[in-house]
Each structure stands twice: as structure tokens, then as C-alpha cells.
Structure 1
């Protein structure tokens, strides 16, 4: 392996260890606590507009909570999930333990995965929910996701915004609190997505949720 490859693998392992350490115990209360402040997730899932029998991958699938909701709205969809944290995927498997449909969950790096790892040529929809703000090389995660879409596929993202419409003191307190959990809202998210959409002749939908508390976006690719 080259020096650059070794450094990349080292950073990936370091991030995986960090996430496993943070979620080893938090995963047991994750869904109960996060439902109050991870705004926009449910409406994003409802609007995935998955075709019958379509494929959905969630990047950073965590406990599988979002996958379970997607299954409720799109019961015929084929579901896949990846996460760098093995600890989180333990909870994801438990989420689907009593269900007839079980997604294919894999420990994988959001910046360096391919559809072939999941036995498919591409995905109709990819969801990244409150994960980009925790992925150090988040732009590469977007690259990998777009590359994994089928023609006509869609990448849906919801994550913390810049809280641009909220009172300055509240914004400062919130961002300091998020930093304690290794969360960094991506200031350049819209510009990066606009560049990706323009490069691929795709359509970008971008909107603010809760006065900028969160941002929601979709890159909708064209059929070739």
C-alpha cells in the first residue's frame, strides 16, 4: 500500500474507533434522545418517492431507525445501509429483528464504497441523514454517493444548517454543544452540491428547515 493509502486507511480506522467509542453506550438511547432535535428526517424519508421494488441505501444508517420508517412508507423497496461504526450496526440489526424484511447492513467507509459491495449496480435513492456533519472528508462522501446512483437516481441529504435565522446567542450555544459530539455543520454544503449538480447536468433542490436549524437537499440526476 502507498504512503497516501496507508494514511487514508489510518484516518478511516481512527474515525471508526472514535465512532465506536462514542456510540458503544449511546446507541442504547440514541433514538430516544435524537428525535427531539434531528429535524426534517421524517419528511425527507416520506418524500424519497421510491419506485416499486426500488433500491434505497442509507449512508451512516446508525441504529436503522430511518430504514424502519422507509420500510413503512415503501414496503416493496430493497433496503441497504452502511455505517463506519460496528456498534451502531448491532442496534440496526436489532431494529429489524422481528421484521420480515431485513436490510443488508455493512460496515463501510462513506467516502469509499461502491454498489458492487452490496451486489447491485447502483441505487435508486441514497439518503444521508445527519451524517455529513460527522464525516471528516464529507465532500468525498458526497462524491461516492453520487457515483453510486442509478441513472435517474436521487441523493437526499438532511443535516444541521448554519442556524442563520436563529438568534445569535442560541446559534453559538447550539454549535458549541454540537462540537462536543464531533458534529460540524457544513457551511459550504449548498455550494458543493450546486457544483456537483452542474457538473452532472442534474437538478438541485435545497431548502432551509426551522430558520436554518437544518438544511435539506436533493440532487436529482437525469436518466441517460
Structure 2
């Protein structure tokens, strides 16, 4: 990941805003309670965390990423936004992490994974790990590339070639896997396709 993003991280936000669709809508949908906590898994450049912190001024925000290079950029973004007192970052493998050691808390009111699972081969393990870190009444929000069912075939072909060039693999099984994880934990889940299947927004909710 560091090899991939060592140079891309400097233009990541400027280039990705054109095709990482739905991120701001996801943040608006978090409905975070006052004084709540948010963890972003695969926080990358920190773009989403900064927006979350500004949208929910009382929230405690946390981000983890496996890439030291991305975290360096995220730390700079947090500093520029004067949010160092509200956003904490840590390097960790999303398939298995000790949140208590990293952040001083074991569970979170909201967990966000935005366009990261499509880049992680053991993505199912990441989903389960995230769900297991939900506080009672908490919700895991996942946004990623969808099944593209409503998109024209030529557009799908170009899109998938472009994504493959960056080692990105859409996860059409995401709703089913989220359903299996939620059922095994006795949580609730829902998912909706967005932009004609370009993206999917799935939610796992832990009963209070």
C-alpha cells in the first residue's frame, strides 16, 4: 500500500472526488448522537474524517490505516484543519486490531468504511472485525463500488478497466456478506444501490 500511495497520496483527493461518489451523503446519514464517537477504517488522506469532525462538532473521531504514507498525509490534513484535539490516527491492519490499545476505547458509535473494501483482499474479515467494534446502538456504514447493474455496458467496461489499474475490485457480494455477519451477531442490516448500481451503501446496526 505504501508503494502504491507514496506518490498518489499527493493528488488523491483532487482526483478521486470525481468517482468516489456518495461520501458526503454517507457522512450526512451517520446521524451521530451528541458526544458520540466515529472510527473510519481505511481513513487514507483523512478527507472524510475532517469532514465528519466539522459536520459533528462534538464527535470524537478516530482513523486507522495500514499505510504509513497515507497516515502522514492524513496527519497533515488534520493539522491544517486545526482538529488535532478531536481526531486521532493510528496504523493498524483492519482485519485485526486492538482498539483499546490504539485509541483507549474498545467500541464506537459509528464506524465508516468508504471505498476501502474494494482494495482489501480479505474484505470479509474487515467487515466482521468492524462490526464487532460497534457500541450498543452503534452502526457500521459501508460505501463502495456496487454491482453496476443499471449502468450501460460500455461504461461498465471502461470503469472496471480503470479500477483494475489501481488494484480495485468491486464487491457485488457486499450486501449478502453484510447480511451473514449481521445475522451471526444478531444485528440488523440494510443496503441500497446508489447511482444505478455504481455504488452501494450498506449499514449494520447493533441493537442497543
User: 100-109 or 61-70, which moves further after superposition?
Assistant: 100-109
**Structure 1 ranges of 4+ moved more than 6 A:** none
Matched residue count? 205
Q: 1:174 aligns with which of 137, 159, 165?
A: 159
Q: 1:193 aligns with which of 178, 188, 206?
A: 178
> 1:54-93, aligned counterparts within 5 Å?
54-93=36-75
Q: Hey, what's the Cα distance between the residues in 1 that align with 2:25 and 2:71?
A: 23
> 1:48-197, aligned counterparts within 5 Å?
48-102=30-84, 103-117=87-101, 118-197=103-182
Alignment gaps of 5+ in structure 2: none
Q: Hey, what's the Cα distance between the residues in 1 that align with 2:51 and 2:79?
A: 15
Q: 2:12 aligns with which of 12, 22, 30?
A: 30
The answer to whether the 8 Å contact 1:115/1:123 transfers is no
Q: TM-score, normalised by structure 2?
A: 0.95
Q: Hey, what's the Cα distance between the residues in 2 that align with 1:38 and 1:25?
A: 19
Match of residue 3 from structure 2: 21
Q: Secondary structure at the match of 2:203?
A: strand
1:144 deviates by 0.7
Larger Rg: 1 or 2? 1
1:39 deviates by 0.6
Alignment gaps of 5+ in structure 1: 1-18
1:180 deviates by 0.7
Q: Hey, what's the Cα distance between the residues in 2 that align with 1:189 and 1:77?
A: 28
The answer to whether the 8 Å contact 2:115/2:145 transfers is yes
1:100 deviates by 3.8
